[in-house]
Structure 1
């Protein structure tokens, strides 16, 4: 029996809940004391064992102790989320926090709260974060130094003055706890990294990336491998065993600034329909399993894009070099070539290892002009070689889009911001990205390839990494149904198990109406989060049984994983050997990729919020029009036309007594009947900004 299982068995079967080290060693003579102690420490970190100096060790389950993570510390109280299936929230009075920091694992004793509304807890043990770094803003007054952490903005942590170095008052810093007390006020921290003025979004973004464990630099072994790949380049010897498609009309469409081009397309009319080719950079040829490049890509999971910057998953020698499908250069690819019916149905497909040569790098803006007939003579001339193909593709892209919405795929409208940065790294404008016909067309082509590849993986029973989106939460659907009904829409089929077509119809019938923002937001809230999985669970919002991510191996590890598996299959590796090689790998890759995607999204969103807050500084004191985008018991959020969002706190509105409605969609003033509902237009005045926290505060304009 393994050590961990033996320890747990001893603690579970002992007459008394607690056992000391001496007794455990006596009962387990096959193991050394240091082995048992290390095992107990690990079980303690996992939240399975509790240690008392007076009594010894006990299984948490025997003592009614539960494990969780502190998710919020707000001065005199905090909240923890339990490690149960429901993610139960526990309120912790300040005197029972035991100095636990936001994000730390804790063991808790829980009881019903005095109000009976939720659980109340007491922290018994804190497992410090092994990295132990906290981001915040340094403050200095005379000989005193303290830091206000981003994750705990209402709690000051003392800072050892001797550690401050070159840091100045107001700088964004990372600190570590040098002395850990039994309360937050008895902790003592040391500054370990200085990022610079916290009123500059660029500095705050550097801190955000570190906090979200986004690696900014590649290690030496990875760089050496990348340099060797770049130096060798695309070798004609690598063309062996590949279909030569260099005489095909293949080209790329991206933004003008794009340097990591991982997808190209071809399109032609054939008997009975069309042939759509989606040709993806064969990154797996250069990033071999077990290499330093692969370990680095697995750890990162994804590239991170924010403002005008990118933290790449792979070094530039690959992402912008041999793996980028640059025009007039031979490149290795994995091609998904689909036979398409005029109706948009996939009639057949094949996947092949290929060598391609893009004939042109097209720009979205210029292709849009060609498609809508507004192109200048210069653009017309520059695109003469591919214009007719582009026009055919544009028409077929609309067929695919109509087919997608026809089968019930959801069309949730959202605004994506483009933040314009000057040469000093400061934001000078926020623009709303406009998705033209060419962007939509490429999206449809990529969706088609991803569907075909996922179908291939499922039909061949290959170990695979699928992109899945499970059914919506039944309770949230019930709330959504009530809201939709309140607006007079008879959508009573909104219930557990409802097909995506039902929610797609709800989105369409409210589009362009005053309730659109509210209904679309509530539909989004009801959705499960998309993730990666080793089983083909389907994609709810796309209304597809088969779906994966195949088309971006330069910037996403799941795509790279699939390329590696497909390559082995195409090279004739037996199915049983493929299962042996990748059976466990796909589970690990799916979980890691999901977790890193979540971290990247949080980092990207926080970075954009910091830049938006800095941009909004110029509007302090000015009145602006916006739309209520969210409501809470303490206030309501307002989104401006440029996508910047801010909070109006109820405490700043005189002579009012607004309360949050039961369905969480509006604030209601009982005395007057006045309501503030998601989607309502409002006029606000910019009160203040906090670049460090990415926050904007508004006042309701009078």
Structure 2
């Protein structure tokens, strides 16, 4: 933007320019202007127009300003601003940042808002305890296109959205269908949002035909498209990746600590290809452990603001779906020069820690290094060595067995310390879904974690904590992994719930220590109520996120924590590596500090958002394949555990991790009342109580892969 008195000056930060625009629009003498008129007033150069557009979009998303139907920008109407979530029955809720309670929006008062829209809300009198309102204005549309199934007729068609929170089909004229036929999965661009409150359907045009709903792989790709997850790398990114070196040169190794003679291994799953962490352990004559955690130096190959970096930042994380991995970086890097492959020289960032017999990290060093991994190990083989002393594996890896025993001893010490400080550990179970060549699920079972998984987790936690603490005390801009303590309402609800089972939860002034949660889980371990209390405790937890403030990690009971150990698959780790390298090389001057201070808040927020997006997509693909699997088992009977109790039915989880719903409307033997405080359904006639954690017999009644649902019926 031009260096003028009336407009923006070159030294202004983004926030200062944003403030100038906001102040101008809120002046009493201001007359609503279009973007072009604002650009003329502030004398914005044509090459800087994108920044003005970003500022205006930013102010709208925050509810500070709004755009009129004629495209002019004006001060907002002053309503409460939040994100709208709709329900298929026509009503919705608005989530306001910083507020625990959503605002209920009745049917007919949504103003046609779609899920994800930023809206202003005007509160209205409510007869109940929940705040109620009506949508005043739609400030920013959250959805511009969506994925659904096309249904054709002679002159028009409809797209039924996969997202069931969108309560209306999208009307598509025949000439805008791109030749889609019944059953095609399509991406539809919304051209008119309609007015659902007045019965006018949204309209759109088919932008892309993904494939027929029955074609292999189309179901998963539809979910990928629906979550707007980048699937293919742009040509410029692939070209840059192809130019990356295949091996480490002498010039690359200059100035690095040479650790190629240090005995070390990678420990990963048998099918893993991107190996970004190696470990080694030795014990000195004083009984002190020396733990080395060596992480692939991805930042050496992905320069800031390069095409590779911009694409990695956009993706934020690798996404692990049932039938594929959508990587953050092209395979040329993630499986090649950045993967710590056995017997090959690799560049790394190494966190070298000295740990005493109490598990205290008494000394550390963080260095740029060059390493050479001795063996590529799997979790299963290491577990057989450290737990079973399997003769075959012990003989095969004889030269490494002493180190594995030292590793196991250190891991047990670190875990004992973690337990002592009160870190919360939930026994979560993930699914192992096996597909055939056509993408059909043939096996689903729980994925079992073994001692080797826990060993690597203990070592990575130590490195992440050490790096976070080191840079916190250097007072440098940084990206931390934070986890807030549960809010007062959740603490009260959990305390009230466990009290019904005879347990007490200690907390003061609406604050609770993680140790109290861990004590509770230890007390209920092995009891009949373990499953129910563990589930409710887990649901009371907040969601971890990335921040630039070091506010601590509640679940791990740590004051300092970050993500340092996976730069191949997580962008925050890659960003942290750049900061570390700038510091180690003496480049962290005032200009660099200011640069990182400016960019890191957006990096942290975007990384948190892409992480949530990836988690949701992974859950959706799991639900899809589980429903498809259970379609082949309709009518069969199983024993399961009640995993959820609601006012509309009971969720039951089977031993194979598939979860289904027993609808209350189908339970005709009694009339049931729902108690939301204790998660129970109680029959009014016979007094039968259904509660979380209870074992029940069920029959599979129905399954629908399109809806991603499984229905059970109770067997008495």
Query: Which of 439, 445, 449 in structure 2 is aligned with 1:431?
Result: 445
Q: How does 1:191-590 map to 2 (within 5 A)?
A: 191-198=206-213, 202-231=217-246, 233-272=247-286, 273-373=288-388, 375-377=390-392, 379-493=393-507, 496-574=510-588, 576-590=590-604
Report the equivalent of 1:146: 158
- Whole-Å separation in 2 of the counterparts to 1:413 and 1:495: 29
Name the CA shift for 1:356/1:606 in 2 (closer, same or farther; >3 Å). same
Name the CA shift for 1:185/1:635 in 2 (closer, same or farther; >3 Å). farther
- Whole-Å separation in 2 of the counterparts to 1:447 and 1:165: 51
Report the equivalent of 1:60: 76
Stretch deviating more after TM superposition (22-31 or 151-160) = 22-31
- Whole-Å separation in 2 of the counterparts to 1:525 and 1:461: 34
Name the CA shift for 1:682/1:170 in 2 (closer, same or farther; >3 Å). farther
3-state SS of the aligned residue for 2:432? strand
Report the equivalent of 1:126: 138
> What is the CA distance between 1:144 and its match in structure 2?
5.7
Query: Does the 8 Å CA contact 2:477/2:596 hold for their aligned counterparts?
Result: yes
Name the CA shift for 1:226/1:454 in 2 (closer, same or farther; >3 Å). same
TM-score if structure 1 supplies the norm length?
Answer: 0.91
3-state SS of the aligned residue for 1:226? helix
Q: What does the per-residue CA deviation read over 1:456-490, in whole Å, with 9 as the maximum and x for residues that have no partner?
A: 11122222111111222121111111111110123
Name the CA shift for 1:168/1:179 in 2 (closer, same or farther; >3 Å). same
- Whole-Å separation in 2 of the counterparts to 1:60 and 1:94: 24
Gaps of 5+ in 2: 1-5, 8-16
Report the equivalent of 2:656: 642
Q: What does the per-residue CA deviation read over 1:340-379, in whole Å, with 9 as the maximum and x for residues that have no partner?
A: 11222111110111110001101111111112225252x3
Q: CA RMSD in A?
A: 3.1
Query: Does the 8 Å CA contact 1:201/1:692 hold for their aligned counterparts?
Result: no
- Whole-Å separation in 2 of the counterparts to 1:28 and 1:289: 30
Q: What does the per-residue CA deviation read over 1:598-642, in whole Å, with 9 as the maximum and x for residues that have no partner?
A: 111111111111111111111112222111111221112111111
> What is the CA distance between 1:101 and its match in structure 2?
2.3
Report the equivalent of 1:83: 96
- Whole-Å separation in 1 of the counterparts to 2:34 and 2:362: 70
Stretch deviating more after TM superposition (453-462 or 272-281) = 453-462
Name the CA shift for 1:307/1:52 in 2 (closer, same or farther; >3 Å). closer
Stretch deviating more after TM superposition (568-577 or 329-338) = 568-577
- Whole-Å separation in 1 of the counterparts to 2:490 and 2:694: 22
3-state SS of the aligned residue for 2:328? coil
- Whole-Å separation in 2 of the counterparts to 1:22 and 1:451: 51
Q: How does 1:24-43 map to 2 (within 5 A)?
A: none
Q: What does the per-residue CA deviation read over 1:239-272, in whole Å, with 9 as the maximum and x for residues that have no partner?
A: 1001111111011111111110000011111132
Alignment size in residue pairs: 692
Q: How does 1:653-664 map to 2 (within 5 A)?
A: 653-663=667-677
Q: What does the per-residue CA deviation read over 1:268-311, in whole Å, with 9 as the maximum and x for residues that have no partner?
A: 11132111111111111111112111111111111111114111
Residue 147 of structure 2 corresponds to residue 135 of structure 1:
yes
Gaps of 5+ in 1: none
Query: Which of 184, 190, 194 in structure 1 is aligned with 2:205?
Result: 190
